[in-house]
Amino acid sequence: MSTGYPRFFIHKSIGALADAIIARYGSANQKAMLFPSTASAHRCRDFIKAKGEPSLTKDVEVIDLILDKGKESSEIVMKISPSISAVIYHSDLFPVAKQYWQHSGDGISSRRAEFCHSLFSDGKLVAAATPQPVIPQKKGPRRYQRGSIDLTSSPTDNKVSPERVKDAAEIQESTQFLEDRFGRNLDISFIDNAKVSLRRRIARSLTGEVNLATIESNSPENTSNSHGVTQDDVYLYPCGMNAIFSTHRMLLQSRGQLKSISFGFPYVDTLKILQKFGPGCIFYGHGSSEDLDDLEARLQAGERYLALFCEFPGNPLLKCPDLKRIRKLADTYDFAVVVDDTIGTSINVHVLPYADVVVSSLTKIFSGDCNVMGGSAILNPQGRYYESLKKAYEADQTNNNNYWAEDIIFMERNSRDFINRIKKINHTTEAICDLLRGHPLVKDVYYPKYSSTKQFYEDCRTPEGGYGGLLSFFFHKKEHAIAFYDRIETAKGPSLGTNFTLTSPYVLLAHYWELDWAGGFGVPPDLIRVSVGVEDTEELVSRFVVALKAAEGVDS
């Protein structure tokens, strides 16, 4: 594989900027890992020094590249004040640096890399503490160059011919279509308003369309939610894993160095974060009632923990933890509860009453278009740690305002219709589940509606909520799974929550080097995971019918 999911494969645009930085500041045996802030870069440096070969780590350094405002005239560029912090290290340490990149989600986005690469090449992005030689000036980043045709000129004006005015009008119309349809060419001057819009949408006080030109951060918020959350309780991150990583850091800062609890079979990097950063964790991979019995016995014996992290529902078996019981244990024995509702979504389930922090990957169904990443963390204003966590989050945002402006603009535009998309996806996913559950070759289907933990899901399901757009299943025979996967006419690859249906051999992708370990928690290696999109229900079901017939053909 030459490329892949952005935290597992470093985007080629990011790699190109890293190479350019090494060419100027490093040497032939060095690499650079790029971050949006000096704080995140220093965390990476510290991780490399702690985990890497000591003989190689002594020369690891951080170079902060900031905008030379004396060379930049664009008000927009000045407003977003782009910067890059590069961790320079020996190339043999790449596997260690890559661990930090993957687990933390702290790294820069490809849009930031492309934008900053242009500034770096023009000599406008310079080392913070080192005077730079003057480099011949070029125009600013292409995406902020204005069109050269003056549309205000009269067709009879000698400066612009009628043909050019017509061509320009057609270009403008085409550009407007792209902006409306795909969220491209958006006005980045609305970045502050876009942040407000996103936070209100996540807090559920904004549920419809919005005009970024009119929304204001200090305007009254329509608090239509019933749980007291406002935009000020919502924090934005460059990806979902970074929201989890940052939440773990904030808990360690505010509550002290205690082990955490990973409850239920987790998304791979959540467990890695809890194991590799801080004092470690205990892992309950089944997420069962028996696991809670064991945890309660530990707590009664005097063991104390930082927080319990869980998904609702879990990935890929779609089981749900007993949040009611977990909340009671947390209140009795003083630990925080962090719930990842990415798969359930806030439209289908309401988990905040049982959590101190709700984290989510906005990259998934919240965005849908699969062209931008993002994450969020919501603090429960009723939680016992609210005040201390609030102080920690606010201080962290000041030092780590890492979410790139262009990514925020894209995310805001993509998410405007996410409620309608979720309703459509809920309906189609149930139809596909019904088809699979009735087929004799299919051994089991995993979906919250049919799970042994359905009651726990129902405890949190919203009045109009469905059961989500993710399902997993496996066949009685591996050969059937192979035939089905080869024939199914959907996109194939990692991620979930895309507007197009996405099928993957999830366990082989996520746990290839630990299949026996995953199998020990009831996660079969031949499992097929499907993230359902917004295609026509009947048409999509028909594709599954065809693929099932291909599986049937294996035995004929």
CA distance readout (Å), 286 to 96, 463, 509, 514, 519:
29, 28, 20, 16, 11
The side-by-side arrangement of strands in the sheet containing 83-90 is 30-35, 83-90, 61-67, 125-127
3-state DSSP call for residue 195?
helix
Are residues 511 and 403 both part of a single domain?
Answer: no
Asked if residue 133 belongs to a domain, the reply is: no
Say what the pLDDT of residue 136 is.
40
Query: Residue 446 is encoded by which pair of tokens?
Result: 């995993």
CATH code for the domain in which residue 258 is found: 3.40.640.10
Are residues 398 and 296 both part of a single domain?
Answer: yes
Say what the pLDDT of residue 187 is.
75
Are residues 410 and 423 both part of a single domain?
Answer: no
Say what the pLDDT of residue 268 is.
82
Q: How far apart are the first and last CA of the chain?
A: 34
CATH code for the domain in which residue 497 is found: 3.90.1150.10
| Tokens 């809920």, located at residue | 426
Are residues 296 and 254 both part of a single domain?
Answer: yes
User: Which three-class secondary structure string do you get for 398-454?
Assistant: HHCCCCCHHHHHHHHHHHHHHHHHHHHHHHHHHHHHHHHHCCCCEEEEECHHHCCCH
Are residues 306 and 409 both part of a single domain?
Answer: yes
Asked if residue 232 belongs to a domain, the reply is: yes
Are residues 283 and 403 both part of a single domain?
Answer: yes
CA gap 51, 57 in Å, rounded: 9
Are residues 363 and 432 both part of a single domain?
Answer: no
CA gap 263, 245 in Å, rounded: 16
Please say which residue of 82, 112, 127 terminates a domain: 127
Are residues 352 and 258 both part of a single domain?
Answer: yes
Are residues 425 and 465 both part of a single domain?
Answer: yes
Say what the pLDDT of residue 493 is.
86
Q: In sequence order, what are the residues at sequence separation of 6 or more whose Cβ sits closer than 8 angstroms to the Cβ of residue 95?
A: none
Say what the pLDDT of residue 180 is.
47
In one-letter notation, the amino acid at residue 366 is F
Say what the pLDDT of residue 149 is.
25
Beta bridge partners of 379: 357
Please say which residue of 395, 415, 435 terminates a domain: 415
Asked if residue 202 belongs to a domain, the reply is: yes
- DSSP H helical segments within 161-210, as ranges? 162-182, 191-202
Asked if residue 529 belongs to a domain, the reply is: yes
Domain that residue 521 falls in: 418-555
Asked if residue 148 belongs to a domain, the reply is: no
Q: Which of 316, 319, 321 is nearest to 338 (CA)?
A: 321
Are residues 504 and 357 both part of a single domain?
Answer: no
Say what the pLDDT of residue 313 is.
97
Say what the pLDDT of residue 185 is.
55
* pTM of the predicted protein model: 0.88
Query: Residue 299 is encoded by which pair of tokens?
Result: 């707590």
Which of the residues in the chain have pLDDT under 70?
1, 130-186, 206-227
Say what the pLDDT of residue 154 is.
34
Say what the pLDDT of residue 207 is.
62
| Tokens 């904030």, located at residue | 250
Q: Which of 279, 244, 447 is nearest to 359 (CA)?
A: 244
User: Which three-class secondary structure string do you get for 236-261?
Assistant: EECCHHHHHHHHHHHHHHHHCCCCEE
Q: Can you point out the beta strands (E) in 68-171?
A: 83-90, 125-127
Distance of CA 177 to the CA centre of its chain: 27
Q: What are the pLDDT digits (tens) for 393-444?
A: 999 987 777 999 999 999 999 999 999 999 999 999 999 999 999 999 999 9
Say what the pLDDT of residue 28 is.
93
Are residues 279 and 320 both part of a single domain?
Answer: yes
Are residues 59 and 101 both part of a single domain?
Answer: yes
Query: How many domains does one find in the chain?
Result: 3
Asked if residue 463 belongs to a domain, the reply is: yes
Say what the pLDDT of residue 76 is.
87
